[in-house]
């Protein structure tokens, strides 16, 4: 089944919409789906033109397509455990929070906290992602725990903060402190970044661009020839963060 949600014009288009109920399993039985516009509770129909195409007998067979002014819609795909969501433009904060399976494709940019505390599944963002991509909530000790978040563009500050498992791949540049407090999983940065992996205790971070303002508390551990995505790279190896008795691995391309 394909569900197409096209945003309706709104009098106050900048007021965020909270739509954690937009996940495939909720459309299987065409539940009464409610969303919030600011402090007002709305029916899905109030804010979207909704079109259903074809049948589905399980959430795996449900594909949701979001189009229109989607950049202010928050929490789409929260707790998603099957199916597919395609966002034709930008998406608001917290897309894919806690998702455990399924796939989210974002053709535009994603706002902050993309894939927050994600457990499994796959998120592909073809544009840029905001701050705290694949990170944890405030005060949480663990961020993303499983699955894959892939961003074709750049990512903001604090990317993969508290990363505990899974793989985060940023093809472009990252902002400040990617992989800060990282304790597991793999973070791959295709471009440049600043102050990577502060206070990390575990996991692996690979940087294929420049690592600016490299922290003084990583111990040089030789070099290694690695194969990534079918290509050979000579990487400088570091262990740290020594300030935290960390045993993480940080690799920076020579």
Interface region with other proteins, contact rule CB under 8 A, candidates 22-30, 146-154, 175-183, 222-230 = 175-183
Q: Is 176 in the site for other proteins (CB under 8 A)?
A: yes
- Identify the sign of the CA torsion 243, 245, 250, 254: positive
Q: Which is nearer to other proteins, 62 or 93 (CB)?
A: 93
Q: Is 112 in the site for other proteins (CB under 8 A)?
A: yes
Which residue among 142, 152, 195, 247 contacts other proteins (CB under 8 A)?
195
Per-residue string for binding with other proteins, 20-59, x by CB under 8 A? ----------------xxxxx-------------------
**Which letter, b or e, does each residue of 127-152 get, where b requires 16 or more Cβ atoms within 10 Å of its Cβ?**
bbbbbbbbbbeeeeeebbbbbbbbbb
Q: Is 221 in the site for other proteins (CB under 8 A)?
A: no
Report how many residues bind other proteins under the rule CB under 8 A. 35
Max Cα-Cα span within the chain: 60
Q: Which is nearer to other proteins, 214 or 233 (CB)?
A: 214
Q: Is 219 in the site for other proteins (CB under 8 A)?
A: yes
> How far is 214 from 128, CA to CA, in rounded Å?
24
Shortest spacing between CB 155 and other proteins, in angstroms: 15
> Which stretches within the chain are classed as H helix?
24-27, 44-47
Q: Which is nearer to other proteins, 86 or 242 (CB)?
A: 242
Residue 197 CB burial class (10 angstroms; 0-12, 13-18, ≥19): buried
Shortest spacing between CB 88 and other proteins, in angstroms: 21
> How far is 181 from 97, CA to CA, in rounded Å?
19
Residue 41: its H or E element? strand 40-43
Which residue among 147, 166, 185, 198 contacts other proteins (CB under 8 A)?
198
Q: Which is nearer to other proteins, 14 or 232 (CB)?
A: 14
> How far is 215 from 202, CA to CA, in rounded Å?
16
Beta strand 103-106 pairing with 40-43: unpaired
Q: Which is nearer to other proteins, 40 or 232 (CB)?
A: 40
Shortest spacing between CB 176 and other proteins, in angstroms: 6
- Identify the sign of the CA torsion 103, 109, 111, 113: positive
Residues within the interface to other proteins (CB under 8 A): 12, 14-16, 18, 36-40, 93, 112-113, 131-132, 137-139, 158, 176-177, 180, 195, 198-199, 213, 215-217, 219, 241-245
């Amino acid at each position: 089944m394909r569900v197409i949600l096209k945003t309706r014009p709104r009098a106050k288009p900048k007021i965020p919409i909270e739509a954690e109920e937009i996940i495939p399993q909720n459309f299987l039985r065409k539940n009464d789906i409610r969303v919030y516009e600011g402090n007002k509770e709305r029916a899905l129909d109030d804010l979207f033109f909704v079109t259903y195409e074809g049948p589905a007998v399980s959430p795996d067979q449900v594909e949701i397509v979001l189009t229109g002014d989607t950049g202010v819609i928050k929490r789409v795909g929260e707790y998603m455990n099957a199916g597919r969501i395609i966002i034709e433009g930008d998406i608001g904060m917290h897309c894919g929070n806690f998702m455990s399976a399924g796939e989210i494709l974002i053709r535009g940019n994603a706002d902050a906290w993309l894939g927050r505390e994600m457990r499994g599944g796959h998120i592909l963002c073809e544009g840029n992602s905001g701050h705290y991509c694949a990170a944890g909530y405030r005060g949480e000790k663990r961020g993303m725990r499983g699955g894959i978040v892939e961003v074709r563009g750049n990512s903001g500050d604090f990317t993969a903060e508290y990363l505990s498992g899974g793989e985060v791949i940023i093809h472009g540049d990252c902002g400040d402190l990617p992989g800060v407090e990282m304790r597991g999983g793999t973070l791959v940065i295709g471009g440049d970044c600043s102050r990577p992996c502060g206070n990390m205790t575990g996991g692996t971070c690979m940087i294929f661009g420049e690592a600016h303002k490299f922290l003084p508390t990583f111990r040089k551990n030789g070099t290694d020839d690695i194969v990534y995505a079918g290509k050979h790279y000579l990487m400088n190896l570091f262990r740290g963060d020594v300030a935290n008795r960390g045993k993480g691995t940080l690799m920076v391309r020579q």
